[in-house]
Structure 1
Amino acid sequence: MLMIRTIRQSDYSNVSNLIRTAFANTANGYRNEAELVDKIRKEPIYQKRLEVVAENGIHLVGYGLLSEVKVVDGAKASTGLVLAPLAVEPGSQKSGVGSLIMANSIIGQSTLAINSPL
């Protein structure tokens, strides 16, 4: 059974390995996504509740991080969330794990206040 849950500090090392493995065999290859996650965790706007893992009962098979972003267009500014990285271990790709992480992230944050111009 697959469970999506908020990350724990004890997951950090496994998540770094999962990210490296997930991106290593892609068309663009690994581009320091795990190090980016480490940097985001140190930012003042980082919110642990926006970082999730997918666990299959044995080990972690997926990971997703929502981060706050500000989009500025002239005098207008909007704040939103971006899901990146989204990583699934190669053996679990194309099985719906990434979709479940995305759905959980969207549904779980549907009550989050987002500033948006009218």
Structure 2
Amino acid sequence: MRVMVLVKATETSEAGVMPTSELLEAMGAFNDQLSAAGILRDGGGLKPTSKGKRVAFDGEGRTVIDGPFSETGELVAGFWIWEVKDLEEAVAWVKRCPNPMPGPSEIEIRPFYEEADFA
């Protein structure tokens, strides 16, 4: 089962505050564990939404919206794509993850649709 693991943005990440060297080292070690276990497929950190854009669709119309975007708790600061046997395994790995932010934070796990879902 493939899952996307989403690190939710915080006010700190949206302000562009870079992680400490200790956190970068801890996250690097965690990524090494994921790789060694054969779970990690991809991952990365995202720049704040002030550096991004959105495209809104309405019928044939397209509107480009410049960041930053509000609702910090609904924004994504980083992601992984993992191959796990089930959601319980993904949850177990997330529980081992260092806190990705300097304060309270959340990580969301979302399964990908697989071909069998459309049969």
TM-score above 0.5: no
Higher relative contact order (CA 8 A, sep 6+): 2
TM-score of the superposed pair, with normalisation by structure 2:
0.31
